[in-house]
């Protein structure tokens, strides 16, 4: 699918700032949506000539848009998915231990720089056996993650925080701009 148009003689492009001249340079354009399952962008060509894009041009550009550009977008999506898999825990969707270490270091540096309090809370679910996962154990972990994420978001109005899966049944909550007394109230 493509969009093609020749403009009438008195057409001028939209002005984006005050005093921009009304140039009559745009006479025709050709656009193709780009995306795999849905439109993620557009391939857009414009010309100062009328009827600049013949049917064969449009066909060729449509093939380019649906192959080369589509592959590029698919590759970017795969990179995003790989990054999410590398930084998040597969069971809970929370930040994994490796990403937690990186983010905690950044928060400590920020807290020192701005002389802000920072709290770290470690939580442990007792009697959870990761080596023998059962539906009940998995449900317990998921329920705990949902509760700790929701509760800490409700109570933390001013400070941004994050929750991470620290280990098998261990979780870490990082509360920025939160001293020890206020961290206790987060429970």
pLDDT, tens only, 159-168? 457 889 998 8
The domain 3-87 having CATH identifier 3.30.450.40: the answer here is: yes
The alpha-carbon radius of gyration of the chain (Å, integer) is 27
Alpha carbon distance 158, 113 (integer Å):
18
Tokens 């656009």 appear where? 31
Alpha carbon distance 6, 108 (integer Å):
58
CB atoms within 10 A of CB 35: 15
Percent of the chain with pLDDT over 70: 68
Task: Report domain extents, the chain.
Answer: 3-87, 97-185
Strands (E), 35-99: 41-47
- Residues in the chain, total: 187
Phi, psi of 4 (to 5 degrees): -135, 140
What is the value of pTM for the model shown? 0.55
Tell me if 3-87 shares its fold with 97-185.
no
pLDDT of residue 20: 58
> Looking at the domain that runs over 97-185, which CATH code has it been given?
3.30.70.270
pLDDT of residue 158: 41
Q: How far is CA 21 from CA 10, 14, 24, in A?
A: 14, 10, 9
How far out from the chain centre does Cα 173 lie?
21
């Amino acid at each position: 699918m493509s969009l093609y148009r020749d403009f009438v003689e008195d057409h001028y492009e939209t002005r984006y700032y005050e005093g921009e001249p009304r140039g009559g340079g745009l006479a025709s354009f050709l656009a193709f949506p780009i995306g795999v399952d849905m439109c993620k962008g557009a391939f857009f060509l414009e010309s100062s000539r009328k009827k600049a894009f013949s049917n064969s041009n449009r066909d060729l550009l449509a093939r380019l848009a649906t192959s080369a550009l589509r592959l590029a977008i698919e590759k970017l999506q795969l990179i995003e998915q790989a990054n999410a898999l590398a930084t998040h825990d597969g069971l809970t969707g929370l930040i994994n231990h490796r990403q937690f270490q990186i983010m905690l270091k950044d928060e400590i540096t920020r807290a020192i720089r701005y002389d802000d309090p920072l709290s770290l809370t470690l939580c442990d679910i007792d009697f959870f056996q990761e080596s023998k996962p059962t539906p009940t154990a998995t449900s317990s972990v998921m329920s705990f993650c949902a509760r700790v994420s929701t509760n800490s978001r409700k109570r933390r109005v001013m400070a941004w925080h994050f929750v991470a899966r620290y280990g098998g049944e261990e979780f870490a909550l990082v509360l920025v701009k939160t001293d020890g007394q206020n961290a206790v109230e987060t429970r």
